[in-house]
């Protein structure tokens, strides 16, 4: 059963783990215009000051997977909700995900079903989604500590700006700065640059967890372009990252992964709790059959 879930994003992970051909998305061609951040205006320190119990930030995230091969198709994912901090970082989350599929793909609508995921103390509880119809009677939430139950987008938060080490590593590669307009009621400056997958793997627990396996030496050299919109209070209001991945050898598809995350309401009060125990089912309780199946993301572009 767990092999079936892992296969849902198997082609995506395989291309990063094995020596696949990957090429970076175009980077911004601007030179840096301002001096490095001073000790009084440090985004990493500003982020750490937000790490307070029962405080958090609201997330609104869009992700795109754009086909560059035989079929020009796109998967568009929305994810919205609240991220809650403790004194070390993100400790809990309550997020709802929805999908916008290309026309004519009704056969996959049973896979790409909206779902809500609550994560507390490293355990995720998912309501709805691809296993919603397989739940035992009276159960609304599916528990899984491996965070593999819900079908999310592989483009979700490749670069996570809520991790101090990741934010610091990205900003160290800043190549351009420019005015970024007003976001969440504050004027921002856009910092942009590139960072390799290997560098992200070293500093980002979220990236290592999402990948699940060791990054190949060739894939580690792949650059990811990014933009961080930083407000006058030095808090990130928007983070955009992208890269293009060739799956040739696995399929004839090239995919561009684009993530656009917006952060609002820094310091918002939050108290996320696990669902009631009598509404929770475990993975082994599901009434589904065995089978690996084809990666649904790849199927959208090749089917």
- Least-confidence region, from 83-92, 121-130, 160-169, 245-254: 245-254
- Least-confidence region, from 58-62, 77-81, 129-133, 282-286: 129-133
Q: Residue range 197-214: average pLDDT?
A: 87
Whether residue 117 contacts residue 97, with contact meaning beta carbons closer than 8 Å, is answered with yes
Mean pLDDT of the chain: 77
Share of the chain above pLDDT 90, in %: 43
Question: What is the per-residue pLDDT across 164-193, written as a single tens digit (0 to 9) for each?
Answer: 999 999 999 999 999 999 999 999 999 999
What tokens were used for 203? 């500093």
Q: How confident is the model at residue 112 (pLDDT cuts 50, 70, 90)?
A: confident
Q: Check pLDDT > 60 for residue 10.
A: no
Between these two residues, 140 and 228, which has the higher pLDDT value? Answer: 228
pLDDT of residue 203: 96
Range of the domain at 228: 2-302
pLDDT of residue 138: 82
Q: Residue range 159-164: average pLDDT?
A: 95
Q: Check pLDDT > 70 for residue 211.
A: yes
Whichever domain contains 121, its CATH number is: 2.50.20.20
Question: What is the per-residue pLDDT across 144-159, written as a single tens digit (0 to 9) for each?
Answer: 855 444 444 444 678 9
Please tell me the total count of domains within the chain. Answer: 1
pLDDT of residue 230: 98
Q: Residue range 31-56: average pLDDT?
A: 74
Choose from 102-106, 108-112, 209-213, 286-290 the range with maximum mean pLDDT. Answer: 209-213
Q: Residue range 43-65: average pLDDT?
A: 95
- Least-confidence region, from 52-61, 153-162, 213-222, 278-287: 153-162
Q: Check pLDDT > 80 for residue 298.
A: no
Share of the chain above pLDDT 70, in %: 67
């Amino acid at each position: 059963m767990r092999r079936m879930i892992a296969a849902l994003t198997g082609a995506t992970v395989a291309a990063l783990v094995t020596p696949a051909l990957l090429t970076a998305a175009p980077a911004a061609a601007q030179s840096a215009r301002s001096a490095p951040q001073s000790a009084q205006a440090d985004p990493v320190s500003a982020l750490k000051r937000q790490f307070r119990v029962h405080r958090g930030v609201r997330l609104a995230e869009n992700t795109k997977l754009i086909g560059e091969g035989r079929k020009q198709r796109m998967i568009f994912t929305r994810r919205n909700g609240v991220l809650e901090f403790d004194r070390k970082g993100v400790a809990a989350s309550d997020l709802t995900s929805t999908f916008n599929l290309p026309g004519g793909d009704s056969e996959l609508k049973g896979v790409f079903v909206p779902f809500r995921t609550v994560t507390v103390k490293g355990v995720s509880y998912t309501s709805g989604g691809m296993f919603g119809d397989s739940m035992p009677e009276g159960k609304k939430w599916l528990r899984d500590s491996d965070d593999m139950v819900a079908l999310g987008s592989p483009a979700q938060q490749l670069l996570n700006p809520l991790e101090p080490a990741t934010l610091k590593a990205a900003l160290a590669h800043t190549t351009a700065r420019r005015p970024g307009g007003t976001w969440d009621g504050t004027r921002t400056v856009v910092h942009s640059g590139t960072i390799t997958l290997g560098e992200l793997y070293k500093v980002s627990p979220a990236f290592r967890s999402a990948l699940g396996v060791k990054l190949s030496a060739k894939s580690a050299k792949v650059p990811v372009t990014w933009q961080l919109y930083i407000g006058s209070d030095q808090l990130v209001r928007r983070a955009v990252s992208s890269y293009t991945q060739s799956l040739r050898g696995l399929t004839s598809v090239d995919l561009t992964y684009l993530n656009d995350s917006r952060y609002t309401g820094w310091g918002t009060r939050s108290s996320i709790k696990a669902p009631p125990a009598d509404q929770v089912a475990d993975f082994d309780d599901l009434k589904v059959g065995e089978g690996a199946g084809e990666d649904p993301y790849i199927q959208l572009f090749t089917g």
